[in-house]
A and B are shown apart, each in its own frame.
Chain A
Amino acid sequence: EDKVVQSPLSLVVHEGDTVTLNCSYEVTNFRSLLWYKQEKKAPTFLFMLTSSGIEKKSGRLSSILDKKELFSILNITATQTGDSAVYLCAVEDMGAQKLVFGQGTRLTINP
């Protein structure tokens, strides 16, 4: 059974800090790993990763995938209060074409 585990489940830091969120997975036929940010409504897309070792970057956010060790990290530098959200990691199974989500990491940025 496909499985996605995120850590930590909750994280509280001060504005300006750098955070690293972790996602490990087990999937039968890996297609892609995705990161989403969820505030009060539905998740918004951040990154899709398919290849190992290639960093994806968007502003202060970056992510990388290790397909050998089966994990990904999401980095946020110079955090701001607007970064407070639940960050979800999901893995897509190529055969099933469905997303399996991790439990999420609840990130709180204090001013």
Chain B
Amino acid sequence: GAVVSQHPSWVICKSGTSVKIECRSLDFQATTMFWYRQFPKQSLMLMATSNEGSKATYEQGVEKDKFLINHASLTLSTLTVTSAHPEDSSFYICSARDPVSWRGKLIEQFFGPGTRLTVL
């Protein structure tokens, strides 16, 4: 299957600072990437859908000015958590897909390994 990487895998920062997380599709072009957040013992919650070359679509309740998403190329999307606070501490996961069906089959989203953010 296709490979999606995330960087960094974990980050600790002070309250009030900004943190950037990168999501890369390594062997395919991802016209669409998704950003999820997962709190301990909870499921994945979609934060936003990122389409290459256009503005991200945010889910209800997600502050777009706090979670800045940039999808400038077909292989890279970034999520910047601005002015991070302890309540932003979570596991952030991206996924990527090419919405064009491949060999006539629907293809699934491919998940990155996740980034664990701890805000002190």
Contact = CB atoms under 8 A, between A and B. Distances in A.
Contacts of A64: none
A45 to B, nearest CB: 5
A103 B42 contact: yes
Interface in A46-93: 48, 50, 88, 90
Interface string B30-71: 001010000001111110010000000000000000000000
Interface in A92-111: 97-104, 106
B114 A97 contact: no
Q: Of A31, A90, A99, which is in contact with the most chain B CB atoms at under 10 Å from its CB? A: A99
Nearest to A50: B106
A42 B112 contact: yes
A102 B114 CA distance: 19
A97 B49 contact: yes
Contacts of B111: 36, 42-45
Contacts of A103: 42-43
Chain B binding surface SS class: loop
Interface string A31-47: 11010100001111100
A42 B34 contact: no
A101 B109 CA distance: 13
A98 B114 CA distance: 18
B109 A41 contact: no
Interface in B76-120: 93, 95, 99, 106, 108-114
Interface of A: 31-32, 34, 36, 41-45, 48, 50, 88, 90, 97-104, 106
Given A97-B32, A99-B34, 13 more contacts: A31-B106, A32-B106, A34-B108, A36-B111, A41-B114, A42-B112, A42-B114, A97-B49, A97-B99, A98-B46, A99-B46, A101-B43, A101-B44
12 contacts: A31-B106, A34-B108, A41-B114, A42-B111, A42-B112, A42-B113, A43-B44, A43-B93, A44-B111, A45-B108, A98-B49, A100-B46
Interface of B: 1, 32, 34, 41-46, 49, 93, 95, 99, 106, 108-114
